[in-house]
Amino acid sequence: MQASTPLTRRGLLAGGIALGGLWALPRLALGEDVPRGSNRRTLVLLHLNGGNDGLNTVVPWKDPRYRVLRPSLALDAGAVRKVSDTLGFHPALAGFEALFRRDRLAVVNGVGYPEPNYSHFRSTEIWFTAQPERTPQYGWIGRTLDAHPTEAPLRAVALEREAPLSFAGSTPGSVTLTDFGRFRVPAGMDGAAQLYRTYAPMEGTRGDVGAGGAQALDVAQRIAQLQRVRAPFQGPLGDSLGHALALLKADLGLECIQLSMGGYDTHSNQGPAHNGLLAQLGNNLNSFQAELEKAGLGERVVTLVMSEFGRRATENLSGGTDHGSAGPVFVIGQGLVPGFHGAYPSLEDLDQENFKFTTDFRSVYAAILASALRVDPRPIVGEFTPLGLFA
């Protein structure tokens, strides 16, 4: 770095985070701070990995075509959790029904994009970058952080083993972790840590370096001391939500937390497998929202549940469903316009056994960006009108 290059406090804050025994020294971030609305929220982004079967999640129980397409997998109309004159939830989704009746759930039907891709890898890329027309480089969350830099040392956390493409960007501020205890200052950094604290009260570049490093140390130490919230969550998803809730309660100013739930690639024996997955999904998310509200965080968090694609309208010969196109997306939180959004895909007008999408997923993202993260969605997702998901 040349001596004439100006240092910004924001950039110095961005690098000093310990993770898994690694230490990143302060780095520069570009751009100026952008004022945000006071009612910004943290986005909790949950990926249902494998392609969730939307037709048996949000069920058109009154449509006779449903049972023609699913002679063995169709759910009994009497067991469906009916929440409208035509639609209901899978019987295992007691948690979703509870959220729906408490006005905490918005269901967006028929979500997809033109010329759908049926590869798990490529379709996940498309959803994580919001750029189906080009080779991915940066994710939609990463581009959001790039476009609106702040002084915060940590802005987004992925509760995953590998960094998701959605977080990829040109500026620091996001990390990946599965264990709070590994988020610590390595022993060899003791001397540097003392220097940060010594320089912090000074003016000029040394003060910037010291303040940035000291704040990053504080964040690292606070995270290392966290314990995941255990009750009333269940299973691997419950573990992840317990970690997410601990981060949110710590009030670190995070803008996004991403996690995933696997098992949704139900090519065979779908009935019992899907039942178990949806029971965990609904019960855990209902408990998560209840815990947020109990902690006074209900209006500060919004949860987005998506899958890389849906399943085909028709069942296969193995008692399952194959990769499909459009499916439902779920938004959970307070201050929503609850209920159903978007047209349910036609069961009559199919495209080679696949649903035709009725809502572009970038319109959902645009709503999250505009109303939850409080940023202009156009540089991130393009000219897509935000859905009216928020009151």
- pLDDT of 89-141, one tens digit each? 999 999 999 999 999 999 999 999 999 999 999 999 999 999 999 888 899 99
Specify whether the CB–CB gap between 332 and 289 falls below 8 A.
yes
Handedness of CA 251, 254, 255, 259 (dihedral sign): negative
Percent of the chain with pLDDT over 70: 84
Any idea of the CA torsion for 124, 129, 134, 136, to the nearest 10 degrees? Answer: -80
Instruction: List Cβ<8 Å contacts ≥24 apart for 188-193.
Output: 188/23, 189/18, 189/23, 192/23, 193/217
Q: Is residue 201 part of a domain?
A: no
- pLDDT of 364-384, one tens digit each? 999 999 999 999 999 999 999
AA identity, residue 353: E
Find the distance separating the first CA and the last CA of the chain, reported in whole Å. Answer: 48
Residue 28 has pLDDT above 50, yes or no: no
Residue 11 has pLDDT above 60, yes or no: no
Q: Is residue 34 part of a domain?
A: no
Domain limits at 143?
A: 40-185+227-381
Confidence class for position 183, pLDDT limits 50, 70, 90:
confident
At residue 185, the pLDDT reads: 65
Taking the C-alpha atoms of residue 335 and residue 282, their distance in angstroms, rounded to an integer, is: 20
Taking the C-alpha atoms of residue 314 and residue 382, their distance in angstroms, rounded to an integer, is: 33
Taking the C-alpha atoms of residue 165 and residue 147, their distance in angstroms, rounded to an integer, is: 17
Q: Give the pTM.
A: 0.89
Residue 218 has pLDDT above 90, yes or no: no
Q: Is residue 35 part of a domain?
A: no
Residue 18 has pLDDT above 50, yes or no: no
Q: Is residue 207 part of a domain?
A: no
Q: Is residue 318 part of a domain?
A: yes
The H helix count followed by the E strand count for the chain is 11, 14
Q: Is residue 272 part of a domain?
A: yes
In terms of pLDDT, which residue wins out, 227 or 188? 227
Residue 3 has pLDDT above 60, yes or no: no
Query: Which DSSP letter does residue 390 get?
Result: B
- pLDDT of 302-354, one tens digit each? 999 999 999 999 999 999 999 999 999 999 999 999 999 999 999 999 999 99
- pLDDT of 137-167, one tens digit each? 899 999 999 999 887 889 999 999 999 999 9
**Domain tally for the chain?**
1
Taking the C-alpha atoms of residue 302 and residue 281, their distance in angstroms, rounded to an integer, is: 16
For 305, the enclosing helix (H) or strand (E) is strand 301-307
- pLDDT of 192-203, one tens digit each? 666 767 766 777
- Phi then psi dihedrals of residue 295, to 5 deg: -85, 5
**Average pLDDT along the chain:** 88
Neighbouring CB atoms inside 10 A of 228's CB total 18
Confidence class for position 221, pLDDT limits 50, 70, 90:
confident
Neighbouring CB atoms inside 10 A of 294's CB total 9
Q: Is residue 216 part of a domain?
A: no
Q: Is residue 122 part of a domain?
A: yes
Q: How confident is the model over 12-31, as a mean pLDDT? A: 37
In terms of pLDDT, which residue wins out, 184 or 258? 258
Which burial class, exposed, middle or buried, applies to 314 when counting CB atoms under 10 A from its CB (0-12, 13-18, 19+)? middle
Specify whether the CB–CB gap between 286 and 243 falls below 8 A.
no
Residue 43 has pLDDT above 70, yes or no: yes
Taking the C-alpha atoms of residue 151 and residue 141, their distance in angstroms, rounded to an integer, is: 17
Q: Which of 23, 28, 27 is nearest to 192 (CA)?
A: 23
* CATH code of the domain covering residue 328: 3.40.720
At residue 26, the pLDDT reads: 40
Quickly list H helices, 251-372.
Answer: 270-294, 361-367
At residue 7, the pLDDT reads: 37
Q: How confident is the model over 268-296, as a mean pLDDT? A: 98
Q: How confident is the model over 230-247, as a mean pLDDT? A: 95
Confidence class for position 172, pLDDT limits 50, 70, 90:
confident
Length of the chain counted residue by residue: 391
For 197, the enclosing helix (H) or strand (E) is helix 190-199
At residue 281, the pLDDT reads: 98
Taking the C-alpha atoms of residue 99 and residue 93, their distance in angstroms, rounded to an integer, is: 10
